[in-house]
């Protein structure tokens, strides 16, 4: 049974970096079938895909254009997890952040982390 467990702070100051981690159990971040995503949800933006990381013969990342200059998604094979870093946050980055596994569609989701950007 695949599970994703999110961790990270719920409050980030403006201009600082949002950092979240998604720990994987029951699957491998290095899977040659799956991909690992971050999505966020807010009343103003709805469900917004942020980016993914996946391994085939090498690691590949794809990012949404809206955050491309500020985002990094990193796999950590030693801990079987992946992370999200979003730099230079503003109040508009306030949202619920989810990690998810893609095996075809997005079949497994983390529990969600409410992140508020505020001083």
Partner 1 sequence: DIVLTQSPDSLAVSLGERATINCRSSQSVLYSSNNKDHLAWYQQKPGQPPKLLISWASTRESGVPDRFSGSGSGTDFTLTISSLQAEDVAAYYCQQYYSTPFTFGPGTKVDIK
| Position among 33, 47, 77, 116 found at the interface with partner 1 (CB under 8 A) | 47
Among 7-15, 23-31, 44-52, 71-79, the segment contacting partner 1 (CB under 8 A): 44-52
Cα 117 to Cα 12: distance, rounded to the nearest angstrom: 5
In the complex with partner 1, the residue whose CB is nearer, 60 or 77, is: 60
- The Cα-based distances of 98 to 56, 57, 58, 119 in angstroms read 23, 26, 24, 23
Residue 43, number of CB atoms within 10 A of its CB: 7
The answer to whether residue 1 forms part of the interface with partner 1 (CB under 8 A) is no
H helices present in the chain, as ranges: none
Binding residues for partner 1, rule: CB under 8 A, are: 37, 46-49, 52, 62, 64-65, 98, 100, 102, 104-107, 109-112
């Amino acid at each position: 049974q695949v599970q994703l467990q999110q961790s990270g702070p719920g409050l980030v100051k403006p201009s600082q970096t949002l950092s979240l981690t998604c720990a994987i159990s029951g699957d491998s971040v290095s899977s040659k079938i799956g991909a690992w995503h971050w999505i966020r949800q807010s009343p103003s933006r709805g469900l917004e895909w942020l980016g993914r990381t996946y391994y085939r013969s090498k690691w590949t990342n794809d990012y949404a254009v809206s955050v491309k200059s500020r985002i990094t998604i990193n796999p950590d094979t030693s801990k079987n997890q992946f992370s999200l870093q979003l730099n230079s946050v503003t109040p508009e980055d306030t949202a619920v952040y989810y990690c998810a596994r893609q095996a075809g569609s997005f079949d497994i989701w983390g529990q969600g982390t409410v992140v508020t950007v505020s001083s």
